[in-house]
Structure 1
Amino acid sequence: MKTLIVYATKYGSTKEVAKKLAASFEDVTLVNSATEQIPDLAAYECVIMGSRITAGMVDKSIKSFAKENEEVLGQKRLGIFLCGLQEKGEKEYLEANFSQALVQKAKAVAFLGGVFDPSKCGFLAKAVIKKVAGLSEYTNMINEKKIADFGEQMKA
């Protein structure tokens, strides 16, 4: 099954999750929607979208991609994953960022965790994460089991 994983990342953890997810598939293309051209969707049977959550919102390039390609995505084996440090609110994040039809069409939807690396963040980002998530040191919350389960759901 030819698979396209379209992701957007700011500090790298969504890219890390996308790469781990890509290991579940034999014929896969990874594309950072914020910096790379997205190939023609007609060439793919399966499309997976992933983004970090910042203040409840996905990256604008993923949101635009989903909106502009909603009809085509609705005809594909579709997956949506979110990355971040707080899993609570997953349903609200999906509702705020994607159409209900797209979310319902998705074969797999999951919150796969994230990484807080203070060495990659500016002062404001560190302050917000400390206040919201209570983190001040390097923290890896990427969920390997959920990534594997997501890959299996997409292939089933």
Structure 2
Amino acid sequence: MKSLIVYCSTHGTTAKAVHLLRKQIDGDVIAINLDKTKLHSDLELFDSVMIGGSIHGGSIQGKIKKFMKEHEDVLQRKNLGLFLCCMREGKDAHEQFESAFPVKLREAAIAKGLFGGEFIFSKMNFFEKIIAKSVSGETEDLSRFDVEAILDFADAFNRNHKYLPV
């Protein structure tokens, strides 16, 4: 199995999740941070694609949106996993997940995950700190990073993976 993880990580939380996830997925796994690297590979080379990002100002990163829009047809034919890092919990987190990923991709996904989030104030600019404080009431670093959710996602992904014709 050859898998690709495509993600964006603004302050490092999603990158941390991808690092843990990558170790748990069966087969060869390549991770590409769209904030740092352009995707030069043909998606047809991969059996599986996982897409992840985080919520900032109520929306997933624009590079992730663009990637999903440009490759939606191919992604629907892959073993697809979708994950989101966000500070919301429960119903609010599920609503953010639904607004982050197109319905066709959500329906095609063999694994979906909400990995929690973090407010790392030392990595935020002034504007981000104001928003984080208004959302959480906190002014110090806050973590709701969910390792168990990452392990559950990896287990579901490995278990539901199908070998697709090339």
**TM-score of the alignment, normalized to the shorter chain, above 0.5:** yes
Letter in 2 for 1:59: Q
**TM superposition shift of 1:33:** 1.4
Check if 1:152 corresponds to 2:163: no
Q: Residue 7 of structure 1 corresponds to which residue in structure 2?
A: 7
Aligned length: 156
Match of 1:85 among 84, 87, 94: 87
1:7-156 correspondence to structure 2 within 5 Å? 7-25=7-25, 26-38=27-39, 39-88=41-90, 89-156=92-159
Distance 1:77 1:63 in 2: 19
Q: Structure 2: any 5+ residue segments left out of the alignment?
A: 160-166
Instruction: Please state whether the residue corresponding to 2:60 is helix, strand or coil.
Output: coil
Deviates more, 1:44-53 or 1:31-40: 31-40
**TM superposition shift of 1:93:** 2.2
Matched-pair contact (CA < 8 Å) for 1:94–1:103: no
TM-score by length of 1: 0.94
Give the alignment's Cα RMSD to 1 decimal.
Answer: 1.3
**TM superposition shift of 1:22:** 0.4
Letter in 1 for 2:76: G
Q: Structure 1: any 5+ residue segments left out of the alignment?
A: none
Matched-pair contact (CA < 8 Å) for 1:86–1:133: no
Letter in 1 for 2:126: F
